Structure 1
Amino acid sequence: RRARRRRLPLTAIFFGVTLLAAVGIGLYFANQTGVFKSATELDTAPPEAPPTVDGDDFTPDDTASPPKQGEQDQARDWINVFSPGDPTQVNAPSDAKADVIQDESGSFLRIRSGASGSAISFDVGQGVLEKLAGKHATFDIIARSEEGQETQISVDCNFGELGDCGRKRYAVGRERNEYLFDVRFPDKHPGAAGTIAINSDFDKQGKSVDIYEIRVSVVP
């Protein structure tokens, strides 16, 4: 006669099924809430763009802006030869005119050569020539023509023992501009002052020109 197997009580079976169900539900919710996900998987934010430098905040050294026009000239050691504040340095022949005038552009000397083509001369002091002896110098005439009358001027120089500059001719328009010429001076002692002579109208039509300044500097 076989021995009867002992059956598990119904309560134990119910408890086991309930426990398994609870564990299954717990695992399901844990998976849904990300308990088993890595930090990378949990980061759902959009990827960050790589850092950039705004074009207005950075300028490479090799693209630095070049010097503005005139900056190098301003750095020169200019010596004043003529300014409208001292018209005693000017000599005008009887048939020529030279008048100091001031407008919104500043003060200038308006010169007009005579019918004979006579030039107006500007003194270059002996002290100035002494500084230029034996050196290479640049002269700068700052001028413009009278309104509506473009003209052609001629420039001559007499520096005594230091020679001259040859005759220069420039077309001068209404806009204020700089008219430059170079002179290489011999290494001599100037015995007197010199002159720069300007004919305001090479064609002898009575046109005038406004002279704002005449200056000179030694070329480095």
Structure 2
Amino acid sequence: FKTAAELDTGPPEPTPTLDSEDSSQPGDTGSPQKPGEADQSKNWINVFSPADPTHVSTPSDAGADVMKDDTGQFLRIRSGASGSAIAFDVGQGVLEKLVGKHAMFDVVARSEEGKETQISVDCNFGDLGDCGRKRYAVGHERNEYLFDVQFPDKHPGAAGTIAVNSDIDQKGKSVDIYEIRVSIAQ
């Protein structure tokens, strides 16, 4: 026979649940990230904004004009007949933050209406190297064109540039650049 204490005649103990445990999994963040769309939760460092076009170098046969429409402010660039690219400065301070890190660059752009184009992107980061030549097909929908760079662990020594050719086929097509930014990849 069991004693009253051994029979445990009290109310039943609640069943343990997982609610009280700390889970390192993030909660539901909504819909998954779309292809060609950068992660908005990253800490982005601004490289170029049309609000300050002074850090853009345009060869004599190319053009760059700040414009605005219902999608926002942008810089409409047009490469020259020679295929010359428009250069966007990447400040030395920005490069210093990227030393020894894996960085993701994001060029937010679209083509002029009805004129899909192929652009090329080249980088010169001085002592830190380059990004290789990237090619993208750009349509009229505003989109994000991403590329990553692994930076060596050494002092940049100077500023760098990101050069964009708006039309690889050299037919005078334009591209609207909304912004260029970079984040440190996790």
Give me the TM-score of the superposition, normalised by structure 2: 0.82
Q: Which has the higher strand share?
A: 2
Question: d(CA) in 2 for partners of 1:177 and 1:65?
Answer: 25
Cα-to-partner distance string for 1:167-190 (whole Å, 9 max, x where unaligned): 000000000000000000000001
- Output the amino acid matched with 1:67: G
Match of 2:30 in 1: 67
Match of 2:53 in 1: 87
What does residue range 95-110 of structure 1 map to in structure 2 within 5 Å? 95-110=61-76
Question: d(CA) in 2 for partners of 1:126 and 1:214?
Answer: 15
After TM superposition, where is structure 1 displaced by more than 6 Å over at least 4 residues in a row? Answer: none
Match of 1:156 among 122, 134, 139: 122
RMSD over aligned Cα atoms: 1.5
Question: d(CA) in 2 for partners of 1:185 and 1:66?
Answer: 30
Give me the TM-score of the superposition, normalised by structure 1: 0.69
Looking at CA atoms only, which structure, 1 or 2, has the larger radius of gyration?
1
Question: d(CA) in 2 for partners of 1:66 and 1:90?
Answer: 37
Does 1 or 2 have the higher relative contact order (CA < 8 Å, sep 6+)? 2
Query: Equivalent residue of 1:73, what SS?
Result: coil
Contiguous gaps of at least 5 residues in structure 1: 1-63
Contiguous gaps of at least 5 residues in structure 2: 1-26
Match of 1:51 in 2: none
Task: State the shift of 1:72 in Å.
Answer: 7.5
Task: State the shift of 1:67 in Å.
Answer: 3.1
Match of 1:129 in 2: 95
Q: Does 1:114 align with 2:80?
A: yes
Q: Which has the higher helix share?
A: 1
Contact 2:81 2:172 in 1 (8 A): yes
Task: State the shift of 1:84 in Å.
Answer: 0.2
